[in-house]
């Protein structure tokens, strides 16, 4: 089993807050513990928010490396 999450825009189109991403990190970790692979895609590319949000989510998940 797997889940696919597509993140688009965020509140008011300005990306996702750290608090909002923390909620998603908790969900992703719960799915992982349940044996469900998760794939997440950020499509809020205006002003580079997708990259910033992805990096923040990686940090919240404890993912290291490039």
pLDDT average, residue stretch 37-53: 87
39 in any annotated domain: yes
In Å, how far from its chain's centre is CA 10? Answer: 11
66 part of a folded domain? no
Token pair recorded at residue 37? 């692979």
- Structural domain span for residue 39: 2-61
Q: How many structural domains does the chain have?
A: 1
Helices (H) and strands (E) in the chain, counts: 2, 2
Q: Tell me if 21 is assigned to some domain.
A: yes
Confidence of residue 66 (pLDDT cuts 50, 70, 90): low
Write down the pTM of the prediction.
Answer: 0.84
Cβ pair 28, 38 in contact under 8 A:
yes
Residue 64 C-alpha from the chain's centroid: 15
User: pLDDT tens across 27-40, in order?
Assistant: 999 999 999 999 99
pLDDT at 19: 96
Beta strand pairing status for 2-7 and 37-42? parallel
**DSSP bridge partners of 3:** 38
């Amino acid at each position: 089993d797997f889940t696919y999450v597509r993140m688009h825009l965020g509140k008011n189109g300005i990306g996702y807050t750290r608090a909002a991403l923390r909620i998603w990190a908790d969900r992703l970790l719960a799915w992982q513990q349940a044996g469900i692979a998760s794939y997440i895609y950020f499509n809020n590319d205006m002003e580079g928010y997708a990259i910033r949000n992805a990096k923040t989510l990686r940090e919240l998940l404890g993912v290291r490396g490039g």
